[in-house]
Structure 1
């Protein structure tokens, strides 16, 4: 009996997998496919039993998105390989599906976001920190209230025909596809009828990546959309994991940098970087360079609370 037959027969009467479980299983299967095919010497265990255990684990999806890739170097502790940007972003997609809480806000409600922004001068000096709270109208028909770097202001309601891209109105966010390829095409074509059959050109990807990261700035999104944005970024050319790990908001983090600007270039020396937990690949926030009052800063920002509320100044 081969492994495919085992997979077909394994717990055939079990209920279907949830979307999150299926995403984690697909992610683990992708990892297994990328692993070296040569057998790994493990005392007392043959290669086929190990493979059968891995197949059953994929079918059951009874594991988290955490993956540690180890090499048998003969040392007591395994040496971990550097993961790819695709691995991190697909892991983040699976983790987003696993942890998201489906919401259905009414048009007359508000999306609440509490975000922390920290700035550290590149040349050295004290860190400045802001805790910003914002309330955005779900359908854009009501005045919102926004704080950024401590500067607070009322935001007028949209006039008829007004909007933003990527959209901020919940009704328009719900219309965005959760298929990663279709999402890329929809954002690329900026509200027009998407041409799903046309490949995205190299000169279009930087703007698409800006739109995708713009979606990720939303603290609350329709079901499956955040995961789709991570999957779409995983397919973008030039996306890479920065060497080394860093500490971010109490987590050991991996940084992923993506193409932005002219084709074939990326932000370097402190450019915009998406940060993910090094074990779960949960999205943590971003870092980038910022300039203010003739000073260059390393700026970090991350969301600490979010939800749906009935009025401005109300908190979930």
Structure 2
């Protein structure tokens, strides 16, 4: 049996990578080999053809398992290398990035507000002109005061929370501070450790709702959420994606879930959350969901302020 036959037979039952993934991987491989052949890469930094092929083969195996082949440069554009990255890897690196970034916000007082400015773009699934909104919200830190929340251009005046009123995800900062930042404990709170059918996709949904905003998360909670979701099976990676500003991104989603996290391809900064939505319409006396669209939200600014209307 020749080597190619052995390769084809190895792990033959696993679904292969998509045509798009194969094409992208092949293009990156050819680009790296072309740079080597053309002498664009200094001899000391060149990748041997055998190493490039071996790395590409390993990367294609990772693609079949839900990963992607990523070209990284380590700050040197003349020394490309190939690396296999999975959806779980992206979430863990995003968690590390979130912890490293920390937060510049002062510790808020209970009588203050969180001001957020969010940019939203909605694109019809079947094509058509996009719609955009820039929304501003002022959320009471402890929930004891009325809040003003703007969503897709519509203003909502939220009354103060009742003494025994509970919301999920929490909108009160002190309640968010009580949530665990340990990934395993947070995943359990999302319901991801249960064995019942459908609990994993619901856990992914709970994590998305927590990170959607306009809530302001205490230090470590965003990172803990990313790491918690990285433990879910079947999360998948879309390497070819972009955010509302057109920045190249990787997307992390879950089968049958309508949410996709977007991260910067090189830095793993969190860029925003895309959802698949629709609008209700009454047709022949029945309400139906029509007009499906992709909606992407990106947080543009966040401040701690003393009153509604203040921008920091």
1:173 aligns to 2:176 (yes or no):
yes
Question: Following the alignment from structure 1 to structure 2, what is the Cα–Cα distance between the partners of residues 225 and 79?
Answer: 33
1:51-100 Cα offsets, whole Å, 9 max, x none, are xxxxxxxxxxxxxxxx96679xxxx9746344101111011101111112
**Number of residue pairs matched by the alignment:** 232
The partner residue of 1:205 within 200, 216, 229 is 200
The equivalent residue for 1:28 is: none
Question: Following the alignment from structure 2 to structure 1, what is the Cα–Cα distance between the partners of residues 116 and 178?
Answer: 22
Question: Following the alignment from structure 1 to structure 2, what is the Cα–Cα distance between the partners of residues 86 and 169?
Answer: 30
SS at match of 1:97: helix
8 Å contact from structure 1 (residues 103, 222) kept in 2? no
The equivalent residue for 2:276 is: 289
1:220 aligns to 2:204 (yes or no):
no
SS at match of 1:141: coil
1:233 aligns to 2:235 (yes or no):
no
Question: Following the alignment from structure 2 to structure 1, what is the Cα–Cα distance between the partners of residues 165 and 99?
Answer: 31
1:143 aligns to 2:146 (yes or no):
yes
Question: How far is 1:159 from its partner?
Answer: 1.1
Question: Following the alignment from structure 1 to structure 2, what is the Cα–Cα distance between the partners of residues 117 and 81?
Answer: 32
Structure 1: give runs of 5+ residues left out of the alignment: 1-41, 45-66, 190-198, 259-264
Which 4+ residue blocks in structure 1 deviate beyond 6 angstroms? 67-71
The structure-2 alpha-carbon separation of the partners of 1:70 and 1:299, relative to structure 1 and needing over 3 Å to count, comes to closer
8 Å contact from structure 2 (residues 276, 292) kept in 1? yes
The equivalent residue for 1:157 is: 160
The partner residue of 2:128 within 125, 130, 135 is 125
The partner residue of 1:246 within 222, 235, 242 is 242
TM-score under structure 2 length normalisation: 0.67
The structure-2 alpha-carbon separation of the partners of 1:103 and 1:223, relative to structure 1 and needing over 3 Å to count, comes to farther
Question: Following the alignment from structure 2 to structure 1, what is the Cα–Cα distance between the partners of residues 128 and 71?
Answer: 39
Moved more, 136-145 or 164-173: 164-173
**Greater strand proportion:** 2
Structure 2: give runs of 5+ residues left out of the alignment: 1-42, 46-68, 282-289
1:278 aligns to 2:265 (yes or no):
yes
- Map residues 2-41 of structure 1 onto 2, 5 A cutoff: none
1:106 aligns to 2:109 (yes or no):
yes
Question: Following the alignment from structure 1 to structure 2, what is the Cα–Cα distance between the partners of residues 280 and 121?
Answer: 29
SS at match of 1:113: strand
SS at match of 1:177: coil
8 Å contact from structure 1 (residues 166, 187) kept in 2? no
Query: C-alpha root-mean-square deviation of aligned residues, in Å?
Result: 2.7
